[in-house]
């Protein structure tokens, strides 16, 4: 997607602080961190959101969850963390490329909304 910020980050056209990369996934620090650790995990293939997944593509979410747990461990989030994906305008999604927020390093609010 030529006008997608995260596709541009994947392509190296926009700089980011990468913490992990392989052939399928990229993880980088959020530009506007909401917690001491705030990492975004994205698939290199563009999907607008969870809504764009199907049975063939959905296993990427399992890959993302496993990477999130690995990055949480590497970042010392031993007492817990949160994984969030926002979907659509009411869900607060501002970047229309599937992404999961990994948040931790502080006691997070019990409020979800």
Residue numbers at the binding site for ligand DGP (CB under 6 A):
5, 14, 16, 28-32, 40, 86, 92-95
Q: Which helix (H) or strand (E) holds 18?
A: strand 18-21
Rg value, the chain, Cα: 14
Q: Residue 27 or residue 56: which is nearer to ligand DGP going by CB?
A: 27
Residue 26's nearest CA partner among 55, 63, 1, 52 is: 63
The least CB distance from residue 103 to ligand DGP, in Å, is 10
Rounded-to-integer distance, Cα 88 and Cα 36, Å:
26
Q: Residue 79 or residue 94: which is nearer to ligand DGP going by CB?
A: 94
Rounded-to-integer distance, Cα 63 and Cα 44, Å:
12
Q: Residue 40 or residue 55: which is nearer to ligand DGP going by CB?
A: 40
Mark whether 99 is an active-site residue. Answer: yes
The least CB distance from residue 7 to ligand DGP, in Å, is 11
């Amino acid at each position: 997607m030529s006008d997608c910020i995260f596709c541009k980050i994947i392509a190296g056209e926009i700089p980011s602080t990468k913490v992990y990369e392989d052939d399928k996934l990229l993880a980088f620090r959020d530009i506007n961190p909401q917690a001491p650790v705030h990492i975004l995990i994205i698939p290199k293939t563009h999907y607008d959101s969870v809504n764009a997944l199907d049975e063939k593509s959905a296993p990427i979410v399992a890959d993302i969850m496993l990477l999130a747990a690995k990055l949480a461990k590497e970042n010392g989030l031993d007492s817990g963390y949160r994984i969030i994906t926002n979907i659509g305008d009411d869900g607060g999604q501002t970047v229309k490329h599937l992404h999961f927020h990994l948040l931790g390093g502080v006691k997070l609010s019990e409020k979800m909304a």
